[in-house]
Amino acid sequence: MYLKCHSRLKDGKEHHYYSIAEKVSCGGGRRVERHIFYLGEINDSQREGWLKLIEAFDVRNQQQTKLALFASDRPVPMHAADFAVRVRLAEFRIHRPRQWGACWVFGLLWEQLKLGEFWQGRLRPSRQGTSWYHLLVVLCAYRWIDPGSEWRLHREWYSKSAMGDLLNEDFALGAKDNPYRCLDKLVVHKAALFSYLQERWRDLFSISYDVLLYDLTSTYFESDSPFPEGDKRQFGHSRDKRSDCVQVVIALVVTPEGFPLAYEVLAGNTSDKTTLEMFLYKIESQYGKARRVWVMDRGIPTEESLAVMRGQTDPPLQYVVGTPKGRLSKLEAELLKLPWQEARPSVQVKLLSQEQELFVLVHSQARVSKERAIRRRKLKKLWARLRELKEQRPSYQALLMKLGAAKAEAGRVWSLIKLSLPKAPRTKKAREQRVAGFAFALRKDKLREVFKREGRYLLRTNLKETDPGKVWEFYLQLVEVEEAFKNLKGDLCIRPIFHQLERRIEAHIFVCFLAYSVQVTLRHQLRAKAPGLTARQVLEKFGRMQMMDVHFPTTDGRELVFVRYTQPEKDQQLLLAQMNWELPPQSPPRITAKGELENGYRPLPAQA
C-alpha cells in the first residue's frame, strides 16, 4: 500500500487530495491500482487563503485542537507556524484492520427498531461502569454477523470488529465474564419485548396480526446428565436426528410476513399436541382478545383442542390445519363423489362440509412434480443398491445388515419393492457363507396407488370462506415458520452447545430471537426495494468494508491518527442508494505523543 496524491486545478487554485491505494497483480503481468480509501485534502499551500485547518483530538491534553498539515519535505509558512504539523508521509503505517460494514448495518437496523429506547431503561450500567446495554448490542450483532461462543467473542471477535468504535467502548466491555453476566439479565424482559416489537413493526410496515402461524422445533446440545428435577434439558423426539443428545423444544408464532410474535422454550420431551392450548392463552393474555386465524401443521392440534377453538365465539378462534393421511383414507369415498374446482392455476380442490368444519382436498401439480422427482431419485438409488447386493452375494447375516441400511436411506420408497430372501441358514457357519437366491421386484400395484395420491393433501378449517384458494394460501404460509427455524439453526446458530446452565440456554435463545428480529426487519425492507437479495447477501457485501487506523508520524515526535472506514465499492454504493442509507462521516483525527497510543482501541471522550 502507498499514499497517493491527487492534484486538481479548481478556480485557478491547485488543491491536493490524498488517498491510500495499492497495486494489484492481474492477468498478463499487469498491475492495476486499487483505491482503498480516501483521506481528503492535506493542505500544503504557502498562502493563507489556501490554508486548510483540521480538527484533531490531542490525547495528551484531552482537547480538540486545530492543525494545519504539511508534508515534511516542504517548508512551513510563517503565518502557520503556531499550528502547523509536518507529517512524514513516507512513514505512514496501517494498524488494526477490523470489520466495520456489517456492524454498521446492524446498528442501523437496531436504531430503526428503536431498541435503544426499550433497553436503556431496563439495563442500567454496573457499579464498575460496564454498560450492559452496549454489551447486549454486541451480543446480538455477533450472533447475526458471525455467530459463535461467548468465549470466542471475548478472545477474538470483539477486537476484530468495529463494535467498540461504533459504541464508543474499549476492550473492557468484552471482558471474559461480562457476556455471561449480561445473559442473566435478559429473559425477564421477554414479554415486554414481544409487545414492543409488535408495535414497532406495525408502525414501520403496517403489519396486521390477524393470521398467526404456529409450529415447533427442537434444538439439541451436549450436556452432562443427570439434571435437576424440572430441568428443560430432556431426551425426546429429535427433529435434528440426534436422539443421543438432550434437547429443548422451541414453540414459535410468526406472522405470514415472517415477523416473530412470541416464542417459548419447553422441555425436550414435550409432545407437540400438549402445547396449543398454552399458546392460545399466552397470545390472548399478551395481545388481548381478537379475531385470529391460526395456521398449523398436522400433529399439533388434537380433536379436543380443535373443539375448544370451535366453541369460542367471542371473539371467534379460527384455524387452518393439515390432517394425517389416515383422515384422507376415511373420507376418500365421500370425496370421490365431489367435483374438482379450479382454485388457482395448476391447483384444484374439493370441498366437503361436515358439521362446523370444512375439509379441503388439494391437488397441486407443482407438488406432484416435486414428489415424483424425489421418489424417482430415491427409487433409482435403491434399485442400483439392490442390484449391487445381488451381484455381491454376501453372507446371509451381512445381507440383512446391508438391506437394513438401504431401507433406512430409502424411506417410504422401500414399500414399493418386493424382496425375496434366501432361506435362513440354520448354523452359524452357514450364516457366514455367501448365499444365493436373493431377488427383488417392483410392486406395480403399490406404485399405482401412490400415483393416485401424489400431490394431494387434506386441510380442515372452521373458516366461513367462500374462496377455497384462500384456505390453501393460508396453509402455504407455514413455510415462513420453517424459514424462521432454518435461519435460527443456520445463520444464527441457535444450538446452544456452549452453555451448561439452563438459564443461560434460555438467554442464548433470547439473543437469537433478538438477532432474528433484526434480520427479518432487513428482509422485509429488501422485499420492497431489492427483492433479488437476501439479508445474508447484504451482510456479506457490507462485510467487505473495513475500518483501519492510519498513523502518520510527525517531525516533532508525535503521531497523527486517522480512523477511517474503506470507501464503498460500486455494488455497495448501489445498495446504499437503493435502500436510502447514508454512511456516517469519518471520525476526526487524533494527535498524540509517540508511544502513548495503545495497541487496542481508545475511544474519544463523550462530547457534551
**pTM assigned to the model:** 0.78
Q: Where are the alpha helices (DSSP H) in 169-240?
A: 178-183, 190-205
Residue 208 in domain:
no
Percent of the chain scoring above 90 in pLDDT: 30
Say what the pLDDT of residue 593 is: 63
Run of H or E residues at 14: strand 13-25
Total domains present in the chain? 2
Q: What range defines the domain where residue 43 resides?
A: 2-94+558-593
Distances 416 to 328, 356, 401, 406, 410 between C-alpha atoms, Å: 20, 38, 20, 13, 10
Q: Please state at what angle helix 190-205 crosses helix 276-287, rounded to 10 degrees.
A: 70
Last residue of a domain, one of 462, 481, 516: 462
240-270: pLDDT as tens digits? 888 888 889 999 999 998 899 999 999 989 9
The yes-or-no verdict on residue 22 having pLDDT over 70 is no
336-349 exposure pattern, b = at least 16 Cβ within 10 A, e = fewer: eeeeeeebeeebbb
Q: Do residues 56 and 588 make contact, with C-beta atoms less than 8 angstroms apart?
A: yes
Q: In which residue are the cell numbers 508520524 written?
A: 553
Q: Are residues 342 and 457 in the same domain?
A: yes
Q: Say whether both 458 and 583 belong to one domain.
A: no
Rounded distance, CA 311 to CA 357, Å?
12
- Residue 358's φ and ψ, nearest 5 degrees, are -125, 125
Residue that finishes a domain, picked among 446, 462, 478: 462
Same domain as 337, residue 451: yes
SS (H, E, C) 257-309: CCCEEEEEEEECCCCHHHCHHHHHHHHHHHHCCCCEEEEECCCCCCHHHHHHH
Per-residue pLDDT band at 40 (split at 50, 70, 90): low
3-state secondary structure of 567: coil
CA pair distance 146, 493, nearest whole angstrom: 9
- The pLDDT confidence band at residue 608, using thresholds 50, 70 and 90, is very low
Does 579 reside within a domain? Answer: yes
In the numeric block, the cell 483505491 is attached to: 35
Q: Check: CB of residue 219 under 8 Å from CB of residue 247.
A: yes
Is 80 exceeded by the pLDDT of residue 388? yes
pLDDT (average), residues 529-544 = 89
Same domain as 455, residue 336: yes
- First-residue to last-residue Cα distance in the chain: 38
- Sequence-distant (≥ 6) Cβ neighbours of residue 591 within 8 angstroms: 56, 57, 58, 59, 65, 67, 85, 554, 558, 559, 560, 561
In a domain, 498, yes or no: no
Average pLDDT over residues 198-223: 88
- Pair (335, 444) in one structural domain: yes
In a domain, 7, yes or no: yes
CA 504, 508, 510, 511 torsion: positive or negative?
positive
**Tens of pLDDT along 435-494?**
788 899 999 999 998 888 888 888 888 887 667 778 888 888 888 888 888 888 888 788
Note whether 396 and 422 are within 8 A (CB). yes
Q: How confident is the model at residue 186 (pLDDT cuts 50, 70, 90)?
A: very high
Would you say residue 455 lies in a domain?
yes
Beta bridge partners of 24: 32
Grid coordinates given for 521: 426487519
Domain membership of residue 125 (yes or no) is no
**pLDDT for residue 56 is more than 70:** no
Per-residue confidence (pLDDT) for residue 32, from 0 to 100: 58
Alpha-carbon span 601 to 162, nearest angstrom: 9
d(CA 511, CA 32) in angstroms, rounded, equals 44
* Cβ atoms of residues 169 and 131 within 8 Å: yes
- 354-377 CB burial, b ≥16 within 10 A, e <16: eeeebbbbbbbeebeeebeeebee
Q: Please, which residues have CB within 8 angstroms of residue 300's CB and are 6 or more apart in sequence?
A: 214, 215, 216, 272, 273, 275, 276, 321
**pLDDT (0 to 100) of residue 77:** 65
**What pLDDT is recorded for position 513?**
94
Per-residue pLDDT tens digits for 543-596: 999 999 888 888 777 888 888 999 999 889 989 998 999 999 888 887 776 544
Q: Does 171 map to a domain? A: no
Asked whether residue 510 is assigned to any structural domain, the reply reads no
